[in-house]
Amino acid sequence: MRIRTHLGQWPSPAIRWRLCSTLPQSIEANDLIILHRDTLTEDADQHEPSQFAAAAGVLTVTAETITLRLGGTVHPLAGERSDDWLAAFAAFLECGFMPPDALVLAHAWREPHRLEGNAWPIDYANFPRVLGLDAMRPSVPFAACPWQLGLYPVVASAAWVERLLELGVKTLQLRAKTLEHATLQAEIKRAVQAARHHHAQLFINDHWQLAIEAGAYGVHLGQEDLQTAQLQTIANAGLRLGLSTHGYYEMLVACHLRPSYIALGAVFATTTKSMPTAPQGLTRLAHYVQLLKKQVPLVAIGGIDQAVLADVLATGVGSAAVVRAITEASDLPKAVATLQHAFVRNLDLVE
């Protein structure tokens, strides 16, 4: 409770996790079982995490690492942590963070006086590293993109790309999910040619091979794509890379891979795609920006429209991706002009 009181007001968590320092008689779905490798009893040592990880989460703790197994996924972290990391872990769970993100924050937790009065972990140097990523990391960083990408519409066709380019939009993403290969190839080529003509920055969602073939400015990938995409090939081709993230753990993964930008979301509820996590909200977004604003360009995404854009930009994020604010606008030129003006006004306020 001492740590929790430092962290401010947060909604009640959707899931009540139970931390178990010893193996419980009955393992429940929301149990997080903590195994200390250096202090396991002979009886407990017979219980490998794989035997009950399907029924609960398991944290295997050593002096150097903590590995969280949850829902069939392994989250291995290494880094310095304070003596009260476990209390901090419980506090961040109580703030509504899912276990992988709560564990990252617990590693980064330091007493408030060591953070100049700010209890929230925002010093990147205190955060842990995710193990096992070195083989995925390209030998050179991805090509850089502007720190302030500005208004960033995400649209489903080359025709939409062309319409927005004519209205002065300079950063766009083509996200075409259901087209056959030949049609998709033609759409990407058409969109890339239009963006090049307008000296704009066009990212292609998912289809990195076709993006390379067409000479696109960049590609945007989700975390689920990292196991199959050839990141070294993308980097060698000179394309920029944007990566989606949905919390602190995924941010650490993304930062290790040195992308051109990181997308933070979903900030608000969205109907344009199925999201793996609940909406992040403005408070979390502001903390994410505080942590990463000096590390990599940032894009807020998810449910952002004219009504909330000013609040989103007030967090310090340099770009905001929009979908329905563009595609469902009754007056497209007016919608684009209004959204663009919000970015100009925000820059004036910052300066």
| Residue-range definition of the domain harbouring residue 207 | 150-350
In a domain, 192, yes or no: yes
Alpha-carbon distance 75 to 131, whole Å? 8
Does residue 223 share a domain with residue 102?
A: no
In a domain, 51, yes or no: yes
Residue 106 pLDDT more than 90?
yes
Does residue 25 share a domain with residue 63?
A: yes
- Looking at the DSSP bridge assignments, the partners of residue 129 are 78
35 within 8 A of 61, measured Cβ to Cβ? yes
In a domain, 137, yes or no: no
92 within 8 A of 241, measured Cβ to Cβ? no
Does residue 174 share a domain with residue 122?
A: no
Does residue 78 share a domain with residue 196?
A: no
- Please state, as a whole number, how many other Cβ atoms lie within 10 Å of the Cβ of residue 25: 5
Does residue 126 share a domain with residue 25?
A: yes
Does residue 213 share a domain with residue 97?
A: no
Query: Mean pLDDT across the stretch 115-134?
Result: 88
For the stretch 42-54, pLDDT in tens is 444 444 555 555 5
For the stretch 168-226, pLDDT in tens is 999 999 999 888 999 999 999 999 999 999 999 999 999 999 999 999 999 999 999 99
Q: What percent of the chain has pLDDT over 70?
A: 90
Strands (E), the chain: 18-20, 31-36, 57-61, 65-70, 73-78, 129-130, 150-155, 171-174, 201-205, 218-221, 240-245, 261-265, 298-301, 319-322
